[in-house]
Amino acid sequence: MAAIAPTSGRTLEDHAKEWAARKVASGAALHHCVLPFLTGAPKAVECRLCNKIIYPLEEIKCSVSRCEQMFHLTCAVENATNLTTESFKCPQHGCMVCKQKTFFWRCGRCTVAAHTKCAPWPLIHLKDDQGSAICWRHPSNWLLQNENADLTNNIEEVFCRLPLPYVNEEFNIDSTIRDFTAIVCKPPSYIHIRRNVYLVKKKRADSSAETGCTNCRADSVCKDDCECRGLSMSCSKSCHCSDLCTNKPFRKDKKIKIVKSEGCGWGAIALEPLEKCDFIIEYVGEVIDDATCEQRLWEMKRRGDKNFYMCEISKDYTIDATFKGNTSRFLNHSCDPNCKLEKWQVDGETRVGVFASRFIEVGEPLTYDYRTLRARAWYFRCVGSGFPVQTHLSHGTI
């Protein structure tokens, strides 16, 4: 099979773009600057005489009814006399040996047509395509069509050498492989929840003793000077602020999406611009105690799990999103993060939110620093640029 001679640091996409740019610069038409088999490439038809791609306005079709053979006009002119588009007839409408026009086969790779008894060498008959065969000019294994081709750096030549199967069924991907690929390309399964699921007694502060933000007026929107905001508390019924209060996170998530990330498995990206301090999503999971946390960590080690979804808030209060959680469980670690986790009081309940630590553009991966968590030691890799890989989580606090 054809291959591109290796060049350091060059990808197939780089070669294709460079080739297209050279073609355009040399005056080639845009429809000549496409390569077959690439994503988005138009369906290509090969000339049966020269086996090269036929571009628009360069083709001539056999005039015989229901014959689909296509040729370059220039190739057809070289092989026919008194040629017109109305009279052109391809060579596959009669036996090349005895010239009879009934009960013969046609080669699916070239212009040869003959009776089996007239063929000088054995054929490959295509059972699923009556009247078609692969003649002696072509290898019995279609994968070996260009087995002895020399290495080349010409991207167009490489793609022209890619072999086509003898039957269309060869293009079909086995359903087992297709289904397996689809499974592999899905994020790890988990049960989606909106709020924490408590496996321990729920801790709730005495909200009756709260006085709320007494310095906010009835028309206040609770900006940076709000007492509750300064204490990482969501405004509640005890507050004196208005319905326009902006200090009520955890009510509506921002739009984010789970994606396959480079080198870090799965991750999450922003689907809308995020301003600094914007609430993005709540970190939710199963709330467990220290004993259960320890047990689950040993089970994870035994299974060889590499993904870590635990966030220890305080003693006997750990949020584990391993089995149950939401999109927040897919945020990766970075030493230079654009998000941070904050512990807030919402109606007396301790909840953890993911907040933007700076402006975040659409499509930007969402990350936070795992080292800011008070968590059991665990392994992770840094996705920040220019920072060393961390080997474990330190024992800090949110």
Q: Which of 15-19, 96-100, 203-207, 354-358 has the lowest mean pLDDT?
A: 203-207
**Does pLDDT of 384 surpass 60?**
no
Contact 73, 91 (CB under 8 A): no
**Angle, CA of 338, 343 and 344, to the nearest 5°:** 115
**Does pLDDT of 229 surpass 60?**
yes
Of the candidates 165, 185, 197, the one whose C-alpha atom is nearest the C-alpha of residue 326 is 197
**Does pLDDT of 100 surpass 70?**
yes
Percent of the chain with pLDDT over 70: 76
The pLDDT value given to residue 199: 92
Confidence of residue 376 (pLDDT cuts 50, 70, 90): very low
Can you list the domains of the chain with their CATH numbers? Answer: 91-138 (3.30.40), 187-202+249-398 (2.170.270.10), 207-246 (no CATH)
> Of 29-38, 161-170, 338-347, where does the model show the most confidence?
338-347
Rounded-to-integer distance, Cα 323 and Cα 292, Å: 14
**In this predicted model, which residue has the larger pLDDT, 243 or 182?**
243
* Mean pLDDT computed over 43-55: 78
**Does pLDDT of 181 surpass 60?**
no
pLDDT digits (tens, 9 = 90+) for 321-370: 999 999 999 998 888 899 999 999 998 888 999 999 999 999 999 999 87
First-to-final CA distance of the chain = 57
Q: Which of 148-152, 233-237, 245-249, 277-281 has the lowest mean pLDDT?
A: 148-152
**Does pLDDT of 279 surpass 80?**
yes
Buried b (16+ CB within 10 A) or exposed e, 219-235: ebebeeebbbbeebbbb
* Mean pLDDT computed over 222-228: 82
Q: Is the dihedral of CA 120, 126, 132, 138 positive or negative?
A: negative
* Mean pLDDT computed over 103-117: 82
Beta bridge partners of 270: 256
Beta bridge partners of 197: 286
* Mean pLDDT computed over 79-100: 78
Tokens of 153: 């750096």
pTM above 0.85, yes or no: no
pLDDT digits (tens, 9 = 90+) for 193-223: 999 999 988 877 665 556 677 777 777 788 8
Contact 79, 49 (CB under 8 A): yes
Confidence of residue 380 (pLDDT cuts 50, 70, 90): very low
**In this predicted model, which residue has the larger pLDDT, 88 or 84?**
88
Give backbone dihedrals phi and psi of 71, rounded to 5 degrees, phi first: -145, 155
